[in-house]
A and B are shown apart, each in its own frame.
Chain A
Amino acid sequence: MVMRKLQLPLSQTQKVRFERAIERLQSLSSSANSDASVIVTDSIPVNHDDAFLKGHGTSEVDGELLATVCGVVERVDKLVYVRTLRARYKPEVGDIVVGRVIEVAQKRWRVELNFNQDGVLMLSSMNMPDGIQRRRTSVDELNMRNIFVEHDVVCAEVRNFQHDGSLQLQARSQKYGKLEKGQLLKVDPYLVKRSKHHFHYVESLGIDLIIGCNGFIWVGEHVEVRDPMAIDDQKDEEMISSSSTGKEQSHIPLETRQTICRIGNAIRVLSNLGFTVTLEVIMETVNLSNSKNIDIHDMLGSEFHVVVAENEAERRRTKRKK
C-alpha cells in the first residue's frame, strides 16, 4: 500500500499522531515480510541458499539481484520481481472499466479510460435498448446519440486489444451501460486491486459502487437491473413512455445524495493517504465518519485523514492477530 506525503496543513499534535500511525503501518508491513520499494540498481535482498526465480524488473550481477526498474519488490513463492508503480492503467482482457464518452464516431464511441489510448466501444458490442439481438442497421447508427452522448459515464468490459494498442470494449450484459445519478471519482489505478467482484451493491445504504480497474470509481443510486426480454411489448411501451415523462421529474432523495457524497469523500481520503480502495475499507471509513459524527465536508479535513490513518493501522494490527 503506497503512502503519500499528506498535502494538508496539520497541527503539531496531528503531525505526531499521523507520523505514529505511519510508523505502525510500516512496522506491520515490514514484519509481514513485506516488499521494499526500490529504484534502478538497488539491491534486492534474497536468500541465496534457497532457489529463487528472477522475474520482471530484475537482473543478477556478481551473484547479487538488482532492480532494473523503479517500483516495489513482490514475491510469489520462489519468484522475485519488481512491480513498477506507474500511475497509468495497464489493461488486461476481462477488466471491468468505468469511462467517459469523449466522441461519438462512425459505429463506435470513444471512451476516456485513464489509459494512454482511448477505448473503443463498438455499436455492435452494445446491447440495444430494445434488448433484441439483431444486426445493427444504419438507423441504429443514426440513433447512437440516443444511447450515449459525449460526457456520458459508461461501464464496460475490456474485450481485446487492437493492433495499434487501443482497447476494444464491450457492454453486452445488463450490468454494463450508462451510469446515471451518481458521482465519478478518479484514483490511481494501482490502488485498485483486481478481484472477482467490481460491482457492489451496498444494501443498507441503497448505493451502487463500481470500482473500475482503471481507477475510475462510480458511486451512484442503486438501479434495478431488468431484463428487457422478460417484459412483453405492451409493458415495455408503457415503461418507455412513463420513463420519458418522468425523466425531468425524477430526482435523488437528499439522504441518498448525502450518502453518495459521504462514500465519495471516504474514497478521496483513502486515495490521498494511498490506501488500497476496496469495499471493506471504504465502508469502514464511511462508518468511522458516521460514528465520529463528522460532517460530509469535514471528511476532507486534516483531522479525519489522521483518524483514518490511525484506524487503518489498528485494523491491520487486529487482522494480523487473527
Chain B
Amino acid sequence: MEIDREDGRTPNQLRPLACSRNILHRPHGSASWSQGDTKVLAAVYGPKAGTKKNENAEKACFEVIWKPKSGQIGKVEKEYEMILKRTIQSICVLTVNPNTTTSVIIQVVHDDGSLLPCAINAACAALVDAGIPMKHLAVAICCCLAENGYLVLDPNKLEEKKMTAFAYLVFPNTTLSVLPEGSSVAEGEPVEHGIITSITHGVMSVDDYFLCVENGRAATASLSAFFRKNFQQSSSKAG
C-alpha cells in the first residue's frame, strides 16, 4: 500500500544520513551519526584493564552509558543501555582483549524518531574509530506498523506517535562475518540471513513481523553502502 508521508518520503525511503568520526579529543574513538534531524554522539574509552563484577574475566567487557538530551535517565534509557550492550557484545571479538572494560558513552543531541537505531549505528562507527576488533559492522533500522496495516521505515517523531507497533532491527553489514568456524550457520540458517538484535514494541502479527524484517534487510543495503563509503574514505591509500 502506497502512503504519502509528511516529509514527502516513500514508505521504504530513509532520511538523509550523515556520519563523522574522530570528532572528540579525549576518547579513543568517537563518532557522530545523524538520520534526518535525529543526531547521536558516541564515544568509546578503552579497552581499560580489569572487568566489572559478575563479568567473565576471560573475555572483554563492555559498559554502555546513555546520556539523554536533558534530565535524568529513566527506565527507557536503562533498557536502551542494555540493548546496546548486548548488541555490542555480539558484534565485537571478545577474546582479543580479555579482562578489559570498554566504555561506550551515547549522548543524544536531538531526538526526532528512530533514536535507538541511530545510537547503535553511532556506537558501531565509534568502535571502528577506536580500532576495536569486530566480527561485523552492525546496521540498525526502525520499522513501523500503522493502524491501517502499512509499513514505514525510519519514522520521525511525528510518525512514531501515530504507529501501533515498532520493530528495531540490527543486521550484519556483509554476507561474510568474522565468526569461529562452524558457527556461520545457526540452526541451519546462515547468519547473514539472520538478525543480530530484534526489539519489538506494540502488537503485530507474525506475518507483519517477517514483512518488517524483509523490508528492513532490503533497506540496510543503502546503510551498509554508506558505512563502507564513510570508512573507506579514511583508510584509502595512495602508496
Contact = CB atoms under 8 A, between A and B. Distances in A.
A68 B133 contact: yes
Given A57-B131, A68-B133, 19 more contacts: A5-B233, A22-B238, A26-B238, A26-B239, A29-B239, A32-B239, A39-B231, A41-B135, A41-B172, A43-B176, A59-B93, A61-B176, A61-B178, A61-B184, A64-B176, A70-B231, A70-B234, A86-B29, A316-B239
Interface in B142-183: 172-174, 176-179, 181
Nearest to A2: B237
B128 interface: yes
A84 interface: yes
B176 to A, nearest CB: 5
A135 B28 CA distance: 37
B235 A1 contact: no
Given A39-B228, A41-B176, A41-B177, A1 B130 contact: no
Contacts of B233: 5
Interface string A31-45: 010111111110100
Contacts, number: 115
A28 interface: yes
A68 B184 contact: no
Contacts of A258: none
A85 interface: yes
B52 interface: no
B129 interface: yes
A70 to B, nearest CB: 5
Given A39-B228, A40-B134, A84-B131, A72 B239 contact: no
B237 A34 contact: yes
Nearest to B174: A41
A1 B128 contact: no
Q: Is the interface of A mostly helix, strand, loop or mixed?
A: loop
How many A residues touch the partner, as a band?
35 or more
The 5 closest A-B pairs by CB, nearest first: A29-B239, A3-B238, A84-B131, A68-B133, A37-B235
A136 B227 CA distance: 54
A131 interface: no
A151 B133 CA distance: 37
Contacts of A119: none
Interface string B168-203: 000011101111010010000000000000000000
Contacts of B172: 41
A274 interface: yes
A231 interface: no
Interface in A66-101: 66-72, 84-88
B238 A29 contact: yes
Contact of B237 (A29, A62, A69, A116): A29
A165 interface: yes
Nearest to A87: B22
A217 interface: no
A88 B23 CA distance: 11
B111 to A, nearest CB: 28
B24 to A, nearest CB: 9
A3 B48 CA distance: 32
Nearest to B136: A41
A25 interface: yes
A69 B91 CA distance: 12
B239 A25 contact: yes
A86 B232 contact: no
A66 B130 CA distance: 19
16 contacts: A29-B237, A37-B236, A39-B137, A39-B227, A39-B235, A41-B176, A57-B133, A61-B184, A66-B176, A70-B234, A71-B131, A84-B131, A86-B130, A88-B22, A88-B28, A116-B28
